[in-house]
Amino acid sequence: MSEQHVVLDHVDQYLQLGRDYDCSDLHLPTAYAPAWRRFGQLSPIWPDHQPLTPEDTARLARSFLGDKEWDRLQNHGDIDFAYSTQNGRYRASVVKQRLGYDMVFRIINSQIKSIEDIGLPLEHILPLTRYQNGLVLITGAVGSGKSTTLAALVDFINRDREDHILTLEDPIEYVFESKGCHVNQREVHTHTESFAKALRGALREDPDVIMVGEMRDLETIQLALTAAETGHLVLATLHTGNAPRTLDRVLDVFPTDQRDQIRIMVSESLRGILSQQLVPRADGNGRVLALELLVNTPAVANCIREGKTFMLPGVMQTGKNVGMITMDESLRRLYVQGLISRDDLLFRSDDKNQMRAFLES
């Protein structure tokens, strides 16, 4: 493939390559060669390909954008939407920058993975999906597999229960067919103005389960907590690294005078937090899931109420019987099994001193 210098005619041809070679993302940037992200690493598709010119990227952008998207790009300078071809779905982002257009595509698996496929501990995750109300948070950095986990949970609920599921997404990634449940999917900017507006409307649509693609701001977090308190099971994602940081992030968006009340709300409505990372395998063949799981027990609720989130790692170590595990413990297990490298273990751990001591012991 390395002798290829020709710029392909259509974005879809690059996307097909990305699918064929098992990539998570595809980049078509101005002044850089076409690139892809495979197993977490970004690299040019063809090592000796010429950088794309502003004319190349403008032509490629025009090849797949409809008039509506093109106009929005010209007026706002960036667009983010779900793009479909006969070969699958993609989360597309196009931005104008100093040199020209940049396009990035997240490749969405058409098959929704099951809880078992992902490697989540079924016996401890299952109870979280069977609550009639409360809040389940899936957290992690960009590209850590949050959407895949969220889709697996929604798919399981869809088959396991007979309820009304409402998803609010930006954009819609996985498409759910109604199975045991009636599933409604709404896309921000297409079917509604914002997550907050959609959540306000959601409470009038008699849902049992609400999936919120991302809790971005105070209003969305407030509405999600209200929904969780008033008899809905809310599944949502946040860009945080572990359970204590997630709780701090939720509480910190509120004004200081409301925090005591919010701590009580969260301590009562939280069901669990799954924090995840995708770590490159030591053998270079793909990535493996490192998972932190916090389950809301009386001891956890007490830490939240009293604002002592720094005590949670200690509480989690005593909660192994309900499946609790810290991120560092999960990484240690993967290292002991020979699945991840020593460098990745140290780089990704929270308590590096403790991890060094473990490695030297």
In sequence order, what DSSP letters do the residues of 261-309 get, joined into one string? HHHHHHHHHEEEEEEEEEEE-TTSSSEEEEEEEEE--HHHHHHHHTT-G
pLDDT beneath 70: ranges in the chain: 1-5
Paired strand residues for 43: 36
Let me know whether 28 and 99 are in one domain.
yes
Q: Give a yes or no: residue 208 inside a domain.
A: yes
- Is residue 1 situated within a structural domain? no
Strand segments, DSSP code E, in the chain are 25-29, 35-38, 41-44, 78-85, 88-96, 101-108, 134-139, 164-169, 182-187, 209-212, 233-238, 270-280, 287-295
Q: Are residues 229 and 173 in the same domain?
A: yes
| pTM to 2 decimal places | 0.89
Regarding whether 161 and 277 lie in a shared domain, the answer is yes
Q: Which of 108, 127, 146 is the C-terminal boundary of a domain? A: 108
Residues 321 and 180 in one domain: yes
102 with 119, same domain: the answer is no
User: Domain check: are 78 and 191 in the same one?
Assistant: no
Residue 126 placed within a domain? yes
Is the domain of 123 the same as that of 145? yes
| Dihedral angle of Cα 120, 292, 246, 263, to the nearest 10 degrees | 90
Q: What is the pLDDT of residue 3?
A: 43
Final residue in a domain of this structure, among 56, 90, 108: 108
pLDDT of residue 40: 87
What's the number of domains the chain is made of? Answer: 2
Q: Which domain covers residue 349, as residue numbers?
A: 115-360
**Based on the domain organization, do 301 and 191 belong to the same domain?**
yes
| pLDDT tens readout for residues 98-112 | 999 999 999 998 789
CATH of the domain at 97: 3.30.450.90
Q: What is the pLDDT of residue 265?
A: 96
Report yes or no on 2 lying in a domain: no
Same domain, 304 and 201: yes
The per-residue pLDDT for 5 is: 60
Considering the domain boundaries, does residue 316 fall inside one? yes
Residues 94 and 169 in one domain: no
- Using the 3D structure, point to which of 64, 90, 108 is the last residue of a domain: 108
pLDDT at residue number 1: 42
Task: Tell which residue, 243, 174, 188, has the closest CA to residue 216.
Answer: 188
User: Is residue 179 situated within a structural domain?
Assistant: yes
Query: What torsion do the CA atoms of 26, 27, 28, 34 make, to the nearest 10 degrees?
Result: -80
In whole angstroms, give the CA distance from residue 100 to residue 29: 8
* pLDDT for residue 227: 95
Spatial contact of 230 and 208, defined as CB atoms under 8 Å apart: no
What CATH number does residue 201 fall under? 3.40.50.300
pLDDT of residue 317: 92
Q: Are residues 199 and 72 both part of a single domain?
A: no
Instruction: Look at residue 3 and tell me if it is in a domain.
Output: no
- The verdict on residue 142 lying in a domain is yes
From 130, 126, 150, select the one nearest 237 (Cα to Cα): 150
pLDDT value for 171: 84
pLDDT digits (tens, 9 = 90+) for 227-281: 999 999 999 999 999 999 999 999 999 999 999 999 999 999 999 999 999 999 9
Q: Are residues 170 and 274 in the same domain?
A: yes
Looking at residue 2, its pLDDT comes to: 43
Neighbours of 87 (CB within 10 A): 13
